[in-house]
RNA sequence: GCGCGUUUAGCUCAGUGGUAGAGCGUCUCAUUGACAUUGAGAAGGCCAGAAGUUCAAUUCUUCUAACGCGCACCA
């Protein structure tokens, strides 16, 4: 006898423990019958490792549901299904979280020695990691915890070091004093992706600069400006010669300026003449590089003016700007001011204005072709695999050739477009939390390796951009789990993640995966969006509309939450979820439970079964449709078809027909078993519980490994 | 500036070359019959606008509008 109601609180933990104890989460455990056409075929998903700096939120629940559904489906189909879980130390993100935690405790981040900070953050991260693992279990994730990896595992770090070394020997990473994005608040550089550029209202100033008139939005950077640049074809300035010098009165007295002609100038913008600040502007930097001009730092690392500003030295740039404008105005050098709308780069975390600075950093070359040297030169086979392609071209050709498919298709174009305009990737971060860059310096010499080459060598102070490590995740994990895993499970099948990290992560995985292994890291990229509430709002603590997945799972059952996350949400769009929707699917779980009670406790045994054939045909058709949608990665359709069939065909019609004697009990049981199988990937707990309790014939020990 | 997406029931969203679907909401009826965390039924949509292709368009094409998003070194 089944209980009157389905009590998920009593069932879920028990079922999950039994699954885990069975060992079936490991791909090698389940042996389908030998005639299963998929027997022995690997199917692999590497879980995007959640940032171990907090709890799992609804977005995590979405990826857990999606990936678990895919894995369970394939496992039931007979594949050797591996879902490899992990956790991300999430360098900068976690350091920011930890800094805030320290501030709440009245401590200051930089008051603590580096080694101690590292240890504290490690403890914090490992505690979160273990909490997240229990949350994954609560959500029903059938991932193989025996293969779990952490981005700071020693063996993972060794893979990352090795990649860096190879890139270095191939000339694809280099250390250079180039323009970087500096956040004065966080005291670190950021990659181009970590900079956001909202459009702001500002003022555009026109100043007299000797015989020229120049325009700028940043007067505070102009102290060191001693070059005025015009376009070579600009008729207004045709009487001036490149390199010509002239005297002029400027902020702090007379200076000598030099005229430069450069094609990059837009003659229609401003006055067609501009002064440049090569240390604090990437475009100016490029001009200075082209003409071999001096570069001078004007603003320090805290955003204050340096001694070159004389009376303004030590002032923060935000305060200095009006004072400088006033001084120029008093000197009669201000021509006019204009209201001006332009994009201002900001730190994506704290909104602090990004100050471009020159600083020696490590960069990954995106468009340069490898030039193997030293030991690398000997590896001819490797060079052949690479075909001497740049990292960008490796990824571009892989995607263009269809080695990587995108769900949805439109992301492919977005990906290609982004790849076309790539700039070199700054991977140095001035933070403590992460993998220390394995570069050692002695005078002009550079050594790349994990350990010091000897006396007198000093290691680079910086750590890698987190994405440099996680960009190697698919191969780094499989190279360091069980022997033979890499050979068997790489390339993986699906990478399911949010489209917001398409460039941060997916692009880097394809580039670095191709580079290290010669193969793409995954065959399909399945992208989901940002979970929103029923009014289409982003969820945020300040709006108070956050849905805690574990909380609602406790209240309505994990199966209901999973259904609500998948149903009606097409891949690539922002999924919408609400408590009402979850309730609706909780009712569905109840419905399934009551259907089981009818089939095994109340159903009619007599009758002619006149509709058996029709019922079976319809069942077969639905099963085929659901399978097809699975194979097309249209989980929302597979889900809805199964849902609709079970409720509105089996419950509404087939059971009613049985009451009239038109469907035999044997057929009813067969169909209901099929319903459990079909629903299991979506609603694993209630289906498994019923499977365990009901007296089906020739049962497997778990529905999880029942043949689809 | 360039590119992309969205526009379908009161709300949030699926879907489709041939009498439109889900969740929630609304209304009516049914309560010792598997199921009130229910069942049966109903109301509610010229599928943004215009043109084109087609025997047939909500679905394909083009244009328009509104909203949203991404990318870009215009000082």
Protein-proximal positions, strand B, CB < 7 A: 3-6, 11-15, 21-25, 33-35, 37-41, 70-75
Q: pLDDT, tens digit, for every residue of A262-300?
A: 988 888 888 889 999 999 999 999 999 999 999 999 999
Shortest CA to C1' contact from A569: nucleotide: B14
What is the model's pLDDT at position A576? 84
Give, in order, the Cα–Cα distances in Å from A421 to each of A119, A231, A235, A473.
39, 24, 32, 24
CA–C1' distance A580–B43 (Å)?
Answer: 22
Structure tokens at A520: 């793409």
CA–C1' distance A428–B2 (Å)?
Answer: 31
Confidence of residue A122 (pLDDT cuts 50, 70, 90): very high
Length of chain A: 708
Report helix, strand or coil for A532: strand
Averaged pLDDT for residues A618-623 = 90
- Taking C1' of B37 and every protein CA, the nearest residue is A587
Number of domains in chain A: 3
For residue A438, is it within any domain? no
Distance CA A609, CA A611 (A): 5
Average pLDDT value over all residues in chain A:
91
Q: Is the CB of A2 under 7 A from strand B?
A: no
Q: Is the CB of A373 under 7 A from strand B?
A: no
pLDDT at A573 over 90: no
Distance CA A491, CA A510 (A): 11
Residues A535 and A626 reside in one and the same domain: no
Spatial contact of A477 and A507, defined as CB atoms under 8 Å apart: no
Chain A 205..224 CB hits on strand B (< 7 A): 215-218
Locus of tokens 């060794």: A158
Q: Domain containing A664 — which CATH number?
A: 1.10.730.10
**How many CB atoms are closer than 10 A to CB A605?**
10
For residue A81, is it within any domain? yes
What is the model's pLDDT at position A422? 86
Q: Is the CB of A193 under 7 A from strand B?
A: yes
Domain extent for A203 = 199-343
Residues A12 and A145 reside in one and the same domain: yes
Chain A 273..312 CB hits on strand B (< 7 A): 273-275, 281-283, 286
pLDDT at A531 over 90: no
Q: pLDDT, tens digit, for every residue of A326-339?
A: 999 999 999 999 88
Distance CA A390, CA A274 (A): 35
Q: Is the CB of A545 under 7 A from strand B?
A: no
Chain A 32..91 CB hits on strand B (< 7 A): none
Distance CA A568, CA A629 (A): 14
For residue A583, is it within any domain? yes
Q: pLDDT, tens digit, for every residue of A435-465?
A: 999 999 999 999 999 999 999 999 999 999 9
Q: Which helix (H) or strand (E) holds A675?
A: helix A665-679
Residues A501 and A597 reside in one and the same domain: no
CA–C1' distance A230–B68 (Å)?
Answer: 39
For residue A475, is it within any domain? no
For residue A563, is it within any domain? no
**A490 CB-side CA count, 13 A:** 25
What is the model's pLDDT at position A123? 97
Residues A261 and A305 reside in one and the same domain: yes
Residues A597 and A692 reside in one and the same domain: yes
What is the model's pLDDT at position A223? 86
Confidence of residue A563 (pLDDT cuts 50, 70, 90): very high
Q: Is the CB of A343 under 7 A from strand B?
A: yes
Averaged pLDDT for residues A360-383 = 78
- Taking C1' of B69 and every protein CA, the nearest residue is A500
CA–C1' distance A654–B30 (Å)?
Answer: 21
Q: Is the CB of A418 under 7 A from strand B?
A: yes
Spatial contact of A566 and A639, defined as CB atoms under 8 Å apart: yes
3-state SS track over A464-517: ECHHHHHCCHHHHHHHCCCCCHHHHHCCEEEEEEEHHHHHHHHHHHHHHHHHHH
Chain A 98..157 CB hits on strand B (< 7 A): none
Maximum average pLDDT range among A401-415, A469-483, A642-656: A469-483
Q: Which residues of A416-451 are buried (b: 16+ CB within 10 A; e: fewer)?
A: eeebeebebbbbbbbbbbbbbbbbbeeeeeebbeee
Q: Is the CB of A234 under 7 A from strand B?
A: no
Q: pLDDT, tens digit, for every residue of A402-426?
A: 999 998 888 888 898 888 888 899 9
Shortest CA to C1' contact from A283: nucleotide: B73
Q: pLDDT, tens digit, for every residue of A131-182?
A: 999 999 999 999 999 999 999 999 999 999 999 999 999 999 999 999 999 9
Among A343, A366, A387, the domain boundary falls at A343
Q: pLDDT, tens digit, for every residue of A72-103?
A: 999 999 999 999 999 999 999 999 999 999 99
3-state SS track over A590-608: HHHHHHHHHHHHHCCCCCC
Q: Domain containing A77 — which CATH number?
A: 3.40.50.620
CA–C1' distance A6–B47 (Å)?
Answer: 39
Percent of chain A with pLDDT over 70: 98
Residues A64 and A119 reside in one and the same domain: yes
Chain A 478..507 CB hits on strand B (< 7 A): 503
What is the model's pLDDT at position A386? 56
Residues A505 and A599 reside in one and the same domain: no
Residues A506 and A619 reside in one and the same domain: no
pTM for this prediction: 0.94
- The CB-based long-range contact list for A445-452 (8 Å cut-off, 24+ gap) reads A446/A175, A448/A164, A448/A165, A448/A168, A448/A169, A449/A161, A449/A165, A450/A157, A450/A158, A450/A161
């Amino acid at each position: 006898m089944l209980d009157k109601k389905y009590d998920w609180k009593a069932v879920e933990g028990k079922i999950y423990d039994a699954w885990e104890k069975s060992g079936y989460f490991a791909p090698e455990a389940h042996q389908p019958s030998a005639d299963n056409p998929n027997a022995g075929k690997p199917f692999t998903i590497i879980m995007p490792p959640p940032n171990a700096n907090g709890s799992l939120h609804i977005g995590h629940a979405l990826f857990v549901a999606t990936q678990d559904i895919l894995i369970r489906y394939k496992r039931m189909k007979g594949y050797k299904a591996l879902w490899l879980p992990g956790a991300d130390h999430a360098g900068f993100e976690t350091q920011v979280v930890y800094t805030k935690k320290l501030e709440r405790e009245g401590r200051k981040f930089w008051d603590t020695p580096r080694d101690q900070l590292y240890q504290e953050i490690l403890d914090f991260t490992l505690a979160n990691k273990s909490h997240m693992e229990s949350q994954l279990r609560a959500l029903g994730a059938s991932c193989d915890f025996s293969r779990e990896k952490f981005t700071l595992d020693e063996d993972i770090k060794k893979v990352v070091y090795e990649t860096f070394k190879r890139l270095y020997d191939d000339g694809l990473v280099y250390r250079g004093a180039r323009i970087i994005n500096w956040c004065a608040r966080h005291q670190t550089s950021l990659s181009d992706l970590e900079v956001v550029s909202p459009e702001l209202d500002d003022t555009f100033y026109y100043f007299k600069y000797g015989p020229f008139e120049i325009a700028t939005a940043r007067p505070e950077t102009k102290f060191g400006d001693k070059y005025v640049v015009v376009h070579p074809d600009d008729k207004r300035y045709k009487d001036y010669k490149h390199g010509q010098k002239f005297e002029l009165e400027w902020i702090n007295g007379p200076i000598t300026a030099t005229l430069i002609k450069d094609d990059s100038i837009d003659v229609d913008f401003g006055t067609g003449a501009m002064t440049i600040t090569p240390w604090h502007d990437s475009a100016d930097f490029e001009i200075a590089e082209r003409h071999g001009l001096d570069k001078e730092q004007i603003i320090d690392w805290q955003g204050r003016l340096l001694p070159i500003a004389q009376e303004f030295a030590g002032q923060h740039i935000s305060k200095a700007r009006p004072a400088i404008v006033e001084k120029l105005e008093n000197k009669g050098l201000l021509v006019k001011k204009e209201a001006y709308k332009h994009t201002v780069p900001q730190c994506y975390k704290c909104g602090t204005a990004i100050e471009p600075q020159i600083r020696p950093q490590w960069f990954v070359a995106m468009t340069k072709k490898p030039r193997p040297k030293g030991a690398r030169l000997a590896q001819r086979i490797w060079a052949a695999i690479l075909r001497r392609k740049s990292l960008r071209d490796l990824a571009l050709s892989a995607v263009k050739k269809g080695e990587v498919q995108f769900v949805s298709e439109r992301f492919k174009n977005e990906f290609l477009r982004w790849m076309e305009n790539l700039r070199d990737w700054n991977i140095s971060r001035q933070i403590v939390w992460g993998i220390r860059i394995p570069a050692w310096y002695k005078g002009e010499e550079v050594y790349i390796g994990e350990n010091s080459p000897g006396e007198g060598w000093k290691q680079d102070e910086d750590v890698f951009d987190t994405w440099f490590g996680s960009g190697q995740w698919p191969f780094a994990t499989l190279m360091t789990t069980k022997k033979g895993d890499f050979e068997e499970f790489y390339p993986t099948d699906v990478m399911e993640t949010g489209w917001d990290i398409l460039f941060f992560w997916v692009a880097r995985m394809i580039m670095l995966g191709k580079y290290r292994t010669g193969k793409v890291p995954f065959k399909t990229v399945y992208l989901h969006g940002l979970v929103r509430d029923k009014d289409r709002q982003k969820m945020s603590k300040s709006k108070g509309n956050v849905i805690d997945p574990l909380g609602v799972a406790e209240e309505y059952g994990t199966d209901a939450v999973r259904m609500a996350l998948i149903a009606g949400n097409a891949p690539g769009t922002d999924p919408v979820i609400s408590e009402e929707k979850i309730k609706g699917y909780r009712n569905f779980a109840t419905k399934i439970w009551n259907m089981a009670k009818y089939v095994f406790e109340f159903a009619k045994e007599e009758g002619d079964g006149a509709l058996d054939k029709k019922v079976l045909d319809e069942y077969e058709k639905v099963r085929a449709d659901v399978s097809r949608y699975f194979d097309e990665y249209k989980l929302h359709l597979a889900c809805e078809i199964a849902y609709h069939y079970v409720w509105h065909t089996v419950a509404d019609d087939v059971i009613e027909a049985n009451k009239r004697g038109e469907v035999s009990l044997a057929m009813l049981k067969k169909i209901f078993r099929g319903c459990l199988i079909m629903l299991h990937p979506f609603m694993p707990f209630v289906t498994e519980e019923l499977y365990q309790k009901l007296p089906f014939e020739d049962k497997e020990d778990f529905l999880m490994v029942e043949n689809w």
